[in-house]
Amino acid sequence: SSPLFQVDKINAPVFIAQNLKDPNNNSGETIQFVKNLQKRNISVTYLENDGDSFFGKNIEQRQKLYSALQDFLEVNLKKK
Q: Is residue 21 part of a domain?
A: yes
**Does 1 map to a domain?**
no
Give the model's pLDDT for residue 80: 59
Asked whether residue 7 is domain-assigned, the answer is no
Q: Is 66 inside a domain boundary?
A: yes
pLDDT for the residue numbered 70: 97
Tens of pLDDT, residues 28-65? 899 999 999 999 999 999 998 877 777 677 788 889 99
Q: Is the pLDDT of residue 8 over 90?
A: yes
Secondary structure of the chain: what % helix, strand, coil (to 5)?
50, 15, 40
In total, how many domains does the chain have? 1
How are beta strands 14-19 and 44-49 bridged, if at all?
Answer: parallel
**Stated pTM of the model:** 0.84
Residue 55 lies in a domain: yes
Q: Which domain holds residue 67?
A: 14-74
